[in-house]
Each structure stands twice: as C-alpha cells, then as structure tokens.
Structure 1
Amino acid sequence: RSRWTRRGFMLTGAAVGAGTLIHNPFERLALADGVNGPRRFLSLFFNGGWDVLLGPDSRDPGQSYDTIQMGTDLLAAPYKDPIPVPISGTEVLWGAAMSELVRHADVLTLFRGVNMNTVAHPTGRAYVNTFIPPAGVVPKGDSLGTRFATADSYADLIMPNFVIGMPTFNATMSPELTGVAVDKALEVQDLVKQLGPGGQAQTEELLRAAQDAVHGCVSEHYDGEVPEQVLGISRARMRDMLAQGLEAAFSFANDPEIIARYAIANAGDSNDPAVVAATIWRLLETGLTRTVSARLQTNLDTHTDNWAEFHPVRLQAGFDALAVLLDDLRVDDPNLDDTTVIVHSEFCRTPKINGSKGRDHHFANSMLVFGGGLRRGVCGATLEQTLGLLEIDVASGLPSEGGHMLVPEDIGATLAHAAGLNYDAFRVEPLLPWIA
C-alpha cells in the first residue's frame, strides 16, 4: 500500500513555489521492535447520544428484562441479534452494528456504566470534550486533545492539535497547542492547498521578510511566550505546510485505493464517517499532526420511530469507519502501545422504547479506549435488568456494592497518567489497576 508521508514529500522534492502535487510511492517503514514512536492521540465523538444496547452494552433478546426493551421486532434483520465478543477473558455482548470492531477487541479497554450526570446535549458534549465536569453547559479546562498534544515534543508538527467538527479549548497550555479547527472533514483540502500560483522567488522572499519584520507593541508586557513569537511559529508552520503540496493527499475522489479501503460511497460527503476517518488517517500519515479530535458520526438523537431505521445503520457506519482507521493505525503500532483512541458519546439512550417508538436520553454510558497504555478488558457494568448504574471494585472492574461509581474524569485522569501527564485538573485519582 502506498503511503503519503511528510518525509516522502521532502525526498521527492515538492516544489515550494508552485505547490506541486507529488505522491510518495514508498512504503512507510515500521518501527523496529522495542522502539517507541511518538504518541498519537485520537478523541472520536458519536454525536447525539448512542444506543449502547445496539452497541457495547447489549443484552440477549431471547431473555426478558424488568425495564429493558430490546425492540428487536422493530429492527431490520441484520441488527436483531447481538454478537458475543471475548475481551481479555471476559465475554460481552455487542450489537451487530459493531461487528467490524471485533477484530480490534484485543487492544480494547471497555468502560461501561459511566455516569454522565446529565441527559442534556450541551452539558454532555462539554463533559466529553474536556472530561472535566462542566459548569452547566460551559466546558471547564482544556479539551482532551489539547492536553494530550503535550505528551511528546511537537516542534516538528505543523498542526500539533487538529479538530474536526467539535469545539476546542485551551485554558492552560501553550498557545501553540490551541486546536486548528475545521467544521467539516473536506475543509482540510482547502486548508492545505496553495491559494494561487507563487510569484517570483525574490518577490516571495521579500514578502516573507516583511511579514517577519512586523513587531507587536504588547510583547514587552509578556513573560515567556509572547504573541509575536507564537505568530512567528504559526507563520513558519503554515509556510511549511503550503510548500508540501498536500492537496492531493486529501482529494479522495481521485484516490481509488482509499475509497475502496474505507468504503467511501461519496467522497464529497463530509458527514460520512468513512470520509472523516480517512481524513484523520491522512492527517496522521502526512505528518501534519499526531493529535486529532473529531466528530465521527452525527444524527444519533433518535426519539421517534426513526430509531429503528436510522440508529443502527448510523452506528454501524461509524464503527465500520473506526475499524478501518484502527487497521491503519496498527500497521506500524500493532498493539497500539504508542496510540490512544478514545471513542465516546455525550450519553446513551433509555432502556425503554418511548411512545413514539424511539429512545430518550440515559445516564449509564459506555466508552471505548483502544491502546492508551491501559490494561485490556472490561471495567464497569450496568444493571442486567434495567441498564442502571452500578458501583464497582476498581481492581477487578466488576460490580461491588459500596464501591466506586465510574465518571468521565476517572477515564481522563487514567489516560493522562498512563501518558505521563499531570492529572490534577481532573480532581480524581487515576484508576491505577487499569494502567498497563
């Protein structure tokens, strides 16, 4: 499989002024055994509140439950029967929409019964953006991607922190780590392309010198990094990016290989999870960034009879795209030792089907972490009969009366500690038994 790599562009002499589009024909070299590479971090959001009964916390439709209605009679045939999945010696049931992810269960830590403490979309979205309890609907602290962009040196990266379709916050980190954000995946192509043909080399050099000669009047009032310095760094990174001719790397309509691999039906559909996942992969593959936060799937807020028709289909599209992205990530990091992928939604959906044949909002959420330096397995559970919240024994991850109730900040602190980052902002201790 041919690869787009930043090194490949440099070796093949991407034209600086003309923005020449050059494809790197060489295979990317895998890291030698025992050699740790730079950390990669992905935070992937399923927008609208996912149905965990159709996903990572399913139930046997052949059984009866106190307050759980599986709604099997309303579902299309491919989604009626959940599938048993072994995760580090524990067998769980997943909805059929997750079938493509089964091959990555060996690198998964599944958190279930995570108390979101809200069933309001704005609050839940703020919560899973930072993994710190928000003040009402106002996020507190740094976005998770902003925090994890500090896990390694980022001086070699053009965009240390990239965001697709989500808000991004930087409350305490260097301004360099503020997320470069686009609303839709296809906007990346516009971001990386030259705006027009370059001028004569001497003219371009004079223009760059004039830009660099601008000095800010407020710089003398700053300690440490000053706006003028940050602007200079950003300007240099932008010049570097535009010089590499990366537009073709994100032109999926002209790339039959990536269309086939990610099963992209419409390369012009920014909301297609396959397009989003392929864009994430190209951002990593080209070396533009190692940290991406993205809205992978949308429109999961199904309160009416659109639940049966659309929810499982949209879940499957998101999980299928995620599975292919994980395939690519595991090419040079087979066990995801240096990669963290956290997958989440703002809450889940009720165990009961409402009068409109849909599901409403529910607290007892699930989150998936692939890699991340965590112990593989299942941490947490929900009540078998009601999908209610349960306290757990942290060491085993099993239900334990009087134990610990999982909340998102537990996971944020644990991932931060596993990555060697300070976790004080989460105001909880990490789940130490779950760090590998």
Structure 2
Amino acid sequence: MNFSRRNFLQVMGIAGGVVALREFAGRVPMAHADPGASPGLFLLCYMRGGWDQLLTLDPRDNTDPRFSEANARKAGGSGIMPAYDMVTEAATKTLLASNPSGVQRAGNLSFGPAVPTTLMDHAADLAILRGVSMDTLTHEVGRRYFTTGKFPRGLAASGSSITTLVANAGGPTPLLPNLAVSTESYNEGLPSFASPTSVNSTADLQLVLKPLGKALDPKSAEAIEAFQAKSDTCENHELDQSSVVTTFRELTKKSHSVAKSNAASLFQFSLTSPPAEVKTLFDALGISTAADLAGPRGRAAIAAQALAKGISQAVSVELADDLDDHDSWDTDHAPKIRTAMDALGRLITVLKNTPHKDGGSVWSKTTLLLFSDFARTPLVNTRNGRDHHLASSALVAGPKIRGNQVVGATADQLMGAQLINPGTGKVDASGVKMRPADIHATLLTSMGIALDPIRNQNPTVISALLK
C-alpha cells in the first residue's frame, strides 16, 4: 500500500469518521451495559478464504469406515471424507504415523491434524463453536457478516465491526483504540475515535505514529497546538452542521497526542538490530526472517505490541490470507492453516506472559474471536480441492467465556449445521441455529456491552459459553 497524505488521513480514521458522522449524524452513541466497567481488550483473528474444518476445529476419525472415500461418495453415504492421508505436509504425515485417526485431543477439545501444539496448549481457555450457520457462500458476505455480526446489504457491510463497538465502549484514551492489521473494519454511526486505524505493516504504523516532516521547535509546536485547541469561530459552527469540523478537531487533538508519544519505538521491527524488548518478542513468536516478519507471525507481533503496551483497546488481524483451495488442497491447505494457528498460539503465550497494568496478564483481560469466511466441503473434488460449505466454526475465549468446551456440532452425514440448546450448548432438535450474530451477542454480553447495534438481527445469547 502506497501512503499519500490522503491515505494517511484515511488510516487515522479522519475520512472514515467524517463519512460515518455525516451519514449518521444525530444517532445516539451506543450504550455500555455497565458504564462503570471496562470492556477489556479484544482480539479478532481472521483467516481469509474459507477454512477446512476437518483439518482444524471439527475433525473426523480418518480410520472410521463411514468416512472412507468409498463410503463417503456412495449414495446415502456420509458425504464426509477427512482424507488426511492425502495431505502431503510433513507434520501431518508424522502425526498420522503415530495417530492414524488424525484427531488430536487437548482437554475436552478435539482438533484436526493441521492444528499445532502451540495453540492446543491453550485448550483450557478456548471454546470451539461448531455448526455455525453462515447463510452464504460468498467470501465478501461471510467475511463482513462475521466482522459486524450483521448480515450484509448485498456485498456491503452492515453495521460496525465488533472491534469498533469495543473501542467505543472503552473510550478514546488509547492512542489507536481500534487497530486493523490487514483486515476490513467498519464504523457506522459511532464516534470517530472508535474508527479503525488500518495498516498492513510496521512501516504503515511508523507513518501513523511518527510526526510528518521536519519537527518544529517546541515553543512553535506548543503555540500551534494551543491555537488549534482554542479555535472556536462562527465559521467553525456554521460548517459543523454534519459534525465534520468537530471530527476534524477531535482527530487533530489525537494526532498531537500520537506525535508526542514514543509509541513508534515499540514497532521498530528490525531483523538486524531490534531493540531488546522487540528481540524478546521476536524470539517468542519465532520471527527470524523477512518472510516471518511479512507473514502471520509479523502481523501477530503488531497485535501483541498494540494490546500489551496499551496502544489499542481492540485489534483485528489477518493470520491467513489465501485459504480458498478449490484445487491443490492436499498440498497447500494444511501448511497455511498450521502457520496461522501457530502464530495465534504464540501470540496467546506472549499475552499470557505479559503483566497488565491493572493486575493479572494481558491475556486475562482479552476476549478472542477466530473465524473464516465459511468452511470447505467435506468431500474432496476432482481437482484435489474442496469447495465452499455453509456450516463453519469459530474459536472464542475471554475472561467471562467458559473455556475447555465444544458448543454445537455438525452432522456425521453431509456435515450440516445442527440446532443447539443455547443454555447447554448441546445439539437439540427443537433448538436454534448458531449464527455469527449470536456469537457477537454472546461476546458483547461477556464484555458488558449492550446489544443495541445488532438487536435487529434477533440474536440469541449462547449462555452455555458464559461464566
């Protein structure tokens, strides 16, 4: 991404915030269910393209006769083919040699063969949601549905991202309340400070966090800042009918705070001579090459610093960017899944090992959501690929989320989403289907944030997930 000065304003949320306020002026800011409490931190992790649940969060025993290729493909058969023995990845082959089923277990959870131990080590904190009904097989729709918890208008996102809701509930104090790392993020009608700061790399962040151009002498800078703070003319009020001037002034004030901070030093991600603290982070995340830094581990490092150092209230980060394997699934899918989930597992470890200023660890204050556009078909196609499938899954965690459990399920025939009892999390023929809107409602409830923005989706809180 090439950054012009216009791009910089967009990154800082000015353009997005102005549009949001212009289009939705007069709306009341969203209420916080408990105004005296902090929602905590929020980490949204996205895996682009649609993931294979059999390799990840919803596995099947590769030795079960029901799931052999012959029985999967025959009329009236299971329609489910794990096909783990087709995967060429070395780590999967090693696992199958000692565990032919391909199903890994950690606590009460089960994982497919592409999930690394670095993530499974955190099973006690994690809840797997299976049988999430996506209601779409279009990438943009699935991605935006899970990002906002509201079904899109055509291809266009509807509502604000969950990260924006959390940033709004937390207030404007953090330098970059809502940081989006290689992800889409939206603000519909909320204050401009909650708008996402969108970056793809640490170079982008340096542009955001460092002053532009040559620094003024301190007295001149103070005089300009004081003038801008006090400027309150008739012209300003006349031009502020749609809150454009107010937004600009708020963001000007924020830009002074950002420029005077030393936050840029936290993201000096040099491989040759990183600051000691950054080197410790690199070691924890396994970053040693330029490819590591440009990939999931590098993006995880940005998220780690933003959350651990109090730069952001909410961070969204893309951990996998090319999972749409309609062909070559056997060679391509497992390595990409493993790399992304390893980055997430390492990131959680970093957050667990980082003290929070209010006590406990940063992880103990963090709510997590991991998702993809939708799932992939349980049958392998003629090109050794898997196509799009409606029944997906998600991974969640948080201070008020009950971990070490599986909620929901897919059927052992055709892998369709099952109805669940939201109170128990178990399959219930008279229950409800689990949707992204319901997952959002549950996570927001766990953080003490009111459900006003998604109430028109008629969400069901999955109380089985709540402590």
Same fold at TM > 0.5: yes
The answer to whether the aligner puts 1:78 opposite 2:100 as a matched pair is no
What residue in structure 2 maps to residue 146 of structure 1?
164
**In 2, Cα distance between equivalents of 1:218 and 1:200:** 28
Q: How does 1:317-356 map to 2 (within 5 A)?
A: 317-331=339-353, 332=355, 333=360, 336-356=363-383
Q: Alignment partner for residue 242 of structure 1, among 251, 254, 259?
A: 259
What residue in structure 1 maps to residue 445 of structure 2?
417
Equivalent residue letter for 2:105: V
- For 1:314-362, what per-residue CA distance to the aligned partner results, in whole angstroms no more than 9, with x for missing partners? 1111111111111122233459542101100010111111111111111
**In 1, Cα distance between equivalents of 2:216 and 2:376:** 56
Equivalent residue letter for 2:384: K
Equivalent residue letter for 1:409: A
What residue in structure 2 maps to residue 63 of structure 1?
64
Q: Give yes or no for contact 2:327–2:384 (8 Å, CA) kept in 1.
A: yes
- For 1:34-84, what per-residue CA distance to the aligned partner results, in whole angstroms no more than 9, with x for missing partners? xx9761011110011111111111111111322122222321241143343
Q: Alignment partner for residue 151 of structure 2, among 133, 153, 159?
A: 133
Q: Give yes or no for contact 1:83–1:96 (8 Å, CA) kept in 2.
A: no
Task: Give me the identity figure in percent.
Answer: 28
What residue in structure 2 maps to residue 357 of structure 1?
384
Q: How does 1:3-152 map to 2 (within 5 A)?
A: 39-64=40-65, 65=67, 66-75=78-87, 76-80=89-93, 81=96, 82-87=102-107, 90-152=108-170
| Alignment TM-score, normalising by the size of structure 1 | 0.84
SS class of match (1:329): helix
Q: How many residues align?
A: 396
Query: Gaps (5+ residues) in structure 2?
Result: 1-36, 68-77, 97-101
SS class of match (2:131): strand
- For 1:237-263, what per-residue CA distance to the aligned partner results, in whole angstroms no more than 9, with x for missing partners? 222222223333212223332222111
Equivalent residue letter for 2:330: A
Q: Give yes or no for contact 1:43–1:294 (8 Å, CA) kept in 2.
A: yes
**In 2, Cα distance between equivalents of 1:207 and 1:218:** 17
| Alignment TM-score, normalising by the size of structure 2 | 0.79
**In 1, Cα distance between equivalents of 2:306 and 2:85:** 42
**In 2, Cα distance between equivalents of 1:387 and 1:134:** 25
What residue in structure 1 maps to residue 423 of structure 2?
395
- For 1:403-429, what per-residue CA distance to the aligned partner results, in whole angstroms no more than 9, with x for missing partners? 211111110111111111111333223
Equivalent residue letter for 2:124: D
- Which range moves more in the overlay, 208-217 or 413-422? 208-217
**In 1, Cα distance between equivalents of 2:327 and 2:372:** 19
SS class of match (1:150): helix
Q: Alignment partner for residue 201 of structure 1, among 214, 218, 231?
A: 218
Kindly state the Cα deviation for residue 386 of structure 1 after the two structures are TM-superposed.
2.7
Q: Give yes or no for contact 2:284–2:350 (8 Å, CA) kept in 1.
A: no
Q: Give yes or no for contact 1:414–1:430 (8 Å, CA) kept in 2.
A: yes
Equivalent residue letter for 1:384: D
What residue in structure 1 maps to residue 20 of structure 2?
none
- For 1:386-410, what per-residue CA distance to the aligned partner results, in whole angstroms no more than 9, with x for missing partners? 3221112222222222221111111
Q: Alignment partner for residue 159 of structure 1, among 164, 167, 176?
A: 176
**In 1, Cα distance between equivalents of 2:115 and 2:106:** 16
SS class of match (2:122): helix
- Alignment root-mean-square deviation, CA: 2.4
Q: Alignment partner for residue 263 of structure 1, among 274, 286, 310?
A: 286
What residue in structure 2 maps to residue 28 of structure 1?
none
Which has the larger share of helix? 2
Query: Gaps (5+ residues) in structure 1?
Result: 1-35
SS class of match (1:386): coil
